[in-house]
């Protein structure tokens, strides 16, 4: 098992980017966000890329970003897109190359977060009210078994400092290294 990568997985709106950055700081490691890396490499936003490439090509491009980030030297915390672990061999790749942490967030908290930021999320940009709730419910039901294969599952409804330190400790114990 590799101990130099931590992959953050979870549904959109789960706080993978912000919580992942805080986790990286707590570990003293660099941080990368696959969506940000992909957008910078392509010179366009994620929504635009998703729309123009289609989901399959977009997920393949995410896989290339994952592989590139894993080939970089040193330790790193990597936040992934919500669908990244659900496509192809991406989850197996992450499970084999580091510690996968699932930021689990309750559906009501997700809906509250997503309502406020719908336009930046290509899968839900045109949904509102009941459509959004039904979509998230069905999507979570489909993705939850995949996310639950993570090495560590974290209740991330409110990722406070104490909970973050607990995650750091679990990662260190699992990976068998000291600070």
Domain ranges of the chain: 5-174
Q: Listing from the earlier edge strand, what are the strands of the sheet with 31-33?
A: 31-33, 76-79, 5-9, 99-104, 152-155
C-alpha 168/C-alpha 178 separation (Å) is 11
Write the DSSP string, 112-145: HHHHHTGGG-TTTTT--HHHHHHHHHHHHHHHHH
C-alpha 104/C-alpha 51 separation (Å) is 27
Tell me if 21 sits within 8 A of 159, measured CB to CB: no
C-alpha 91/C-alpha 93 separation (Å) is 5
**Helix, strand, or coil (residue 155):** strand
Residues 6+ apart with CB under 8 A from 100: 6, 7, 9, 85, 91, 94, 149, 150, 151, 152
pLDDT of residue 69: 93
pLDDT of residue 108: 92
What is the architecture, at CATH level 2, of domain 5-174? 3-Layer(aba) Sandwich (3.40)
First to last CA, the chain: 18
The tokens describing 177, both together, are 């290294």
Q: What is the pLDDT along the chain (179 residues), one digit of tens a residue?
A: 456 899 999 999 999 999 999 999 999 999 999 989 998 988 888 778 877 888 888 888 889 999 999 998 889 999 999 999 999 999 999 999 999 999 999 999 999 888 877 777 777 888 878 999 999 999 999 999 999 999 999 999 888 888 899 999 999 888 665 44
Residue indicated by tokens 């929504």? 47
Q: Among candidates 136, 2, 7, which has minimal Cα distance to 62?
A: 7
């Amino acid at each position: 098992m590799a101990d130099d990568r931590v992959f953050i997985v979870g549904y959109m709106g789960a706080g993978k980017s912000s919580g992942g950055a805080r986790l990286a700081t707590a570990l003293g490691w660099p941080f990368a966000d696959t969506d940000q890396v992909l957008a910078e490499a392509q010179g366009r936003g994620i929504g635009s890329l998703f729309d123009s490439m289609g989901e399959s090509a977009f997920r393949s491009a995410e896989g290339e970003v994952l592989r590139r980030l894993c080939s970089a030297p040193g330790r790193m915390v990597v936040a992934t897109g919500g669908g990244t672990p659900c496509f192809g061999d991406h989850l197996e790749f992450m499970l084999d190359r580091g510690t996968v942490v699932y930021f689990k967030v309750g559906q009501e908290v997700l809906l509250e977060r997503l309502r406020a930021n719908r336009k930046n999320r290509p899968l839900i940009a045109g949904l509102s009210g009941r459509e959004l709730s039904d979509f998230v419910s069905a999507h979570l039901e489909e993705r939850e078994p995949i996310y639950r294969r993570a090495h560590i599952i974290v209740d991330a409804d409110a990722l406070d400092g104490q909970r973050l330190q607990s995650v750091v400790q679990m990662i260190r114990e699992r990976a068998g290294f000291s600070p």
